[in-house]
Amino acid sequence: MTKPIRGFDKPPPGSVVLDSDPGGTVILWPMFDLPDTKVVLRPRLDGQDIVHVTDDGFYDYDQWSLQGWTGGWGTWLELIEPGTHVVALVDGAGQTWGQSAPVPIAVGSIPSSGTGQVATLVFANFDGKVTSWFIDPTTQDSDITTDEITVTNMSAADVVVERCLISGGQRSSCTSVGTVAAGADLRTVETMAAAGVRSKDDHQALVIYPASDASQSYQRDLLQGGADFSYGTSCEVERIVVHGGARAGRYGVNNGVAVALSSCFGYYGGPPS
pLDDT tens figures, 39-95: 999 999 999 999 988 878 889 999 999 998 998 888 889 999 999 999 999 998 889
pLDDT at 134 over 90: yes
pLDDT (0 to 100) of residue 65? 93
pTM: 0.89
Give just the sign of the alpha carbon dihedral 228, 234, 239, 240: positive
Rounded to an integer, the average pLDDT of 186-201 is 90
| DSSP state at residue 35 | -
Task: Quote the CA–CA distance of 99 and 46 in Å, as a whole number.
Answer: 10
pLDDT at 111 over 70: no
CA 182 to chain centre: 21
Give just the sign of the alpha carbon dihedral 199, 203, 206, 209: positive
How far is the CA of 97 from the CAs of 76, 101, 141, in angstroms?
A: 17, 14, 32
pLDDT (0 to 100) of residue 225? 66
- What one-letter code names the amino acid at 85? H
Closest C-alpha among 229, 198, 209, 4 to residue 109: 229
Q: How many CB atoms lie within 10 A of CB 1?
A: 2
- What one-letter code names the amino acid at 217? S
How far is the CA of 84 from the CAs of 46, 101, 121, in angstroms?
A: 9, 10, 13
| Confidence category of residue 1, pLDDT binned at 50, 70, 90 | low
Sort 192 into a burial class: Cβ within 10 Å, 0-12 / 13-18 / 19+. Answer: buried
pLDDT (0 to 100) of residue 254? 43
- Determine contact, residues 52/15, Cβ cutoff 8 Å: no
Rounded to an integer, the average pLDDT of 97-106 is 95
Task: Quote the CA–CA distance of 100 and 93 in Å, as a whole number.
Answer: 19
- Determine contact, residues 253/209, Cβ cutoff 8 Å: no
Instruction: Pick the range with the lowest mean pLDDT from 34-48, 68-82, 111-125, 143-157.
Output: 111-125
Task: Quote the CA–CA distance of 150 and 152 in Å, as a whole number.
Answer: 6
pLDDT (0 to 100) of residue 137? 87
- Determine contact, residues 131/47, Cβ cutoff 8 Å: no
pLDDT (0 to 100) of residue 205? 96
Instruction: Pick the range with the lowest mean pLDDT from 90-99, 136-145, 196-205, 252-261.
Output: 252-261
Q: Report the chain's mean pLDDT, rounded to a whole number.
A: 87
pLDDT tens profile 226-272: 545 445 557 889 999 999 887 665 444 444 678 999 988 888 877 76
Task: Quote the CA–CA distance of 32 and 66 in Å, as a whole number.
Answer: 9
pLDDT tens profile 19-40: 998 899 999 999 999 888 999 9
Instruction: State the distance between the two ends of the chain, measured CA to CA, in whole angstroms.
Output: 49
pLDDT (0 to 100) of residue 232? 53
pLDDT (0 to 100) of residue 188? 98
